[in-house]
Structure 1
Amino acid sequence: MNISIENDSAFNSTNDTDSAINPFLQPPWQIALWAVAYSVIVIISVVGNIIVMWIILAHKRMRTVTNYFLVNLAFAEASMSAFNTVVNFTYAIHNHWYYGLIYCKFHNFFPISAVFTSIYSMTAIALDRYMAIIHPLKPRLSATATKIVICVIWGFSFCMAFPLGYYADVGYMQHRDVCYLDWPGYELNRKYEKMYQVSVFCLIYVLPLLVIGCAYTFIGMTLWASEIPGDSSDRYHEQVVAKRKVVKMMIVVVCTFAVCWLPYHIYFLLQTLSHTNQKFYQQLYLAIMWLAMSSTMYNPIIYCCLNDRWV
């Protein structure tokens, strides 16, 4: 997950004799349009996710297992939007890094950890819903156990993102500073970089979505396979309807995440495997990054539209 349009191979193959004109300069009107688009993401995402966290944490009855994971998801998405979106935008506009080496490493570590945490929080919610609906007689996670799971999720995310922070570096290329990933093994046809990108794609996209898909498939078969009995009690009817609403809401959340992040993963996989480097890819990168970052602002809207009360 290299945040730069260029990567280490481009840096190593370019010297200071290249043209002094920055090939990534854009006209002011184009920059203004992208600035508005990215600003909308930051405002809606940060404000919306903070409201979600406040609603859950400020009301004791809302502090359920599922909602603890929703708080973790909201925190991860607010962090991703606050620390990643604006910096990525300003960097991609001219492909010039203004923030120094320390923030280059931080930018490649913490916001990426938040991305990993988001998908695994969704996975934890799916598994929690699976246990609650498919195995209702088995004990649910306690508040302490839920917090431990959340810590494990963040710990795993930090481990996965560590190589990005460790190998992040700032260098001078084409008369501008760039934040790039100085992967080892460049002489081995970028072996380690390719291994990492493929591993990330499998571990934080394909595998979690498979688990989530299987969990919600079984849940759907249980909740929608047969109609609610006509002579059932009002309480039973309300519980089933409430569970269906929550499952519908989370399916929409997961599908939104999957759609928004798929082009991002494909882009970096193709860039890693083929390594093309043209100005056209600046606009493509800005569009793909906007779509990926926009995933952080949809969830608060989904919560409000699809569920009038949370479990």
Structure 2
Amino acid sequence: VTSSWSLRTLAPPTIPLVQPHPNTSQYPPLSDWDPPSFTRAAQFRVGATLVLFLFAACSNLALLASVWCGRGRRLASHLRPLMLSLASADLMMTFVVMPLDAVWNVTVQWYGGDVLCKLLCFLKLFAMHASAFILVVISLDRQHAILHPLDALCAHRRNRRMLLLAWGLSLLLASPQLFIFQAVRVEAVDFTQCATHGSFSRRWQETLYNMFHFTSLYVIPLLVMSCCYSRILLHIHQQHLRDKAGESYLRRSGTDIIPKARIKTLKMTVVIVLSFVVCWTPYYLLGIWYWFQPEMLHVTPEYVHHALFVFGNLNTCCDPIIYGFYTPSFRADLAACCHRTSCDASPRSLDQLSTRQGPPSGESDPGTNNQGGD
């Protein structure tokens, strides 16, 4: 994530690597290695990344359009910025991380110069931090909505502040990339790579830097999200126990204690968080293994490294799928868009189609404005 290219081979690997200064006795001089090549495993990675890029770009742009100007506008005012930010972070991952990774694997070495090297590595880490932190904000919002349902009127202002903090922290934590990355040229073999060569004089500095970003990207978000949903589940369990004990006599019109729309939104966010954990955990575990045992690169097959990185990027495609599964309005927007593209229907017929393909009877969007703001 942080130092994306290995100086042992100066080739684009799958895990965040930083190597010590070349003058140390731990590694041979850069002139002693052979330039890497575009291997078959790397070709698989590029092909899979291209497929994910096309799907993630289309689906996340559709999600952004639906929430911004489609039927997704019916979301509660404090939920819309959350979904817009999540789609924006996924689009940053799609248009920065995926193309950068694919092109870099094809060219093997770096042709973009020093400034572009620093900028793209900064944007890559910024996008990954933003994606993780926005999931944290969504989890905190769901916790407050379930535990303190009467504070819904303050939710919009609270979420706006948390989103500003999430984007600001992402910008701050990614800024070191602008200083530690540089275009390194090896004259002996006429090879240039964007790497952190010479930025760390000791191995422990590399490990500390990588572990810091591993903690901020994965450990802290996972702990916060786990705490939020644990408290939510405990609260729901206690509510059911009170209900069974005959303590809840003031339920509205015989409905559940927690509105169904709020529960549906909760289920959607839980699945989104789980997809983040499932997709990225193997990749981060591989990174930890490398940081403490660098020789693992010679033990594990190359295709394993590439496959785990591709699997992590799959998370970018999961969010719009999950949102569409729980949100009939998004599916209706997609159906209307497909019909408009294929049939070039008139505005009147499109309005009729939109009416026919709205949410079915008894099926409502999670978090619509007519569901108490949640």
Q: Same fold (TM over 0.5)?
A: yes
Partner of 1:40: 51
Query: In the alignment, is residue 70 of structure 1 matched against residue 80 of structure 2?
Result: no
Q: Distance in 2 between matches of 1:191 and 1:219?
A: 40
Q: Distance in 1 between matches of 2:313 and 2:30?
A: 33
Query: In the alignment, is residue 110 of structure 1 matched against residue 129 of structure 2?
Result: no
SS in structure 2 opposite 1:250? helix
Q: Distance in 1 between matches of 2:221 and 2:91?
A: 21
Tell me which of the two structures has the higher relative contact order, counting C-alpha pairs closer than 8 angstroms and 6 or more residues apart: 1
8 Å Cα contact 1:5/1:282 also seen in 2: no
Question: Structure 1 stretches of 5 or more lacking a match?
Answer: none
Q: Distance in 1 between matches of 2:113 and 2:83?
A: 34
Query: In the alignment, is residue 178 of structure 1 matched against residue 193 of structure 2?
Result: yes
SS in structure 1 opposite 2:182? strand
**Alpha-carbon spacing, 1:80–1:141, altered in 2? closer, same or farther (3 Å):** farther
8 Å Cα contact 2:143/2:232 also seen in 1: yes
Partner of 2:366: 310
Q: Distance in 2 between matches of 1:147 and 1:182?
A: 39
Task: State TM-score, norm by structure 1.
Answer: 0.86
Q: Distance in 1 between matches of 2:69 and 2:139?
A: 24
**Alpha-carbon spacing, 1:139–1:118, altered in 2? closer, same or farther (3 Å):** same
Q: Distance in 2 between matches of 1:301 and 1:206?
A: 25
Task: State TM-score, norm by structure 2.
Answer: 0.72
- Give % identity: 21
User: What's the Cα RMSD here?
Assistant: 2.9
Q: How does 1:181-260 map to 2 (within 5 A)?
A: 181-182=196-197, 184-186=199-201, 189-223=202-236, 226=240, 233=252, 236-237=255-256, 240-260=259-279
Question: Structure 2 stretches of 5 or more lacking a match?
Answer: 8-16, 23-27, 329-364, 368-374
8 Å Cα contact 1:69/1:125 also seen in 2: yes
Q: Distance in 2 between matches of 1:53 and 1:246?
A: 18
8 Å Cα contact 2:4/2:195 also seen in 1: yes
User: Which is higher, the Rg of structure 1 or of structure 2?
Assistant: 2
Partner of 2:31: 16
Letter in 1 for 2:133: Y
Return the match for 2:308 from 272, 288, 300: 288
Q: Distance in 1 between matches of 2:37 and 2:262?
A: 50
Q: Distance in 1 between matches of 2:158 and 2:59?
A: 27
8 Å Cα contact 1:183/1:190 also seen in 2: no
Q: Distance in 2 between matches of 1:11 and 1:51?
A: 46
Q: How does 1:77-92 map to 2 (within 5 A)?
A: 77-92=90-105
Q: Distance in 2 between matches of 1:116 and 1:145?
A: 20
Return the match for 1:147 from 138, 148, 160: 160
Q: Deviations over 1:53-79 (max 9, x none)?
A: 111121543352223112111101111
8 Å Cα contact 1:126/1:215 also seen in 2: yes
Q: Give, in angstroms, the shift of residue 303 of structure 1.
A: 0.8
**Alpha-carbon spacing, 1:48–1:18, altered in 2? closer, same or farther (3 Å):** same
Q: Give, in angstroms, the shift of residue 165 of structure 1.
A: 2.5
SS in structure 1 opposite 2:192? strand
Q: Give, in angstroms, the shift of residue 86 of structure 1.
A: 2.0
**Alpha-carbon spacing, 1:222–1:75, altered in 2? closer, same or farther (3 Å):** same
**Alpha-carbon spacing, 1:76–1:244, altered in 2? closer, same or farther (3 Å):** same
Q: Give, in angstroms, the shift of residue 139 of structure 1.
A: 4.9
Q: Distance in 1 between matches of 2:83 and 2:128?
A: 14
Q: Distance in 2 between matches of 1:135 and 1:281?
A: 50
How many equivalent pairs are there? 305
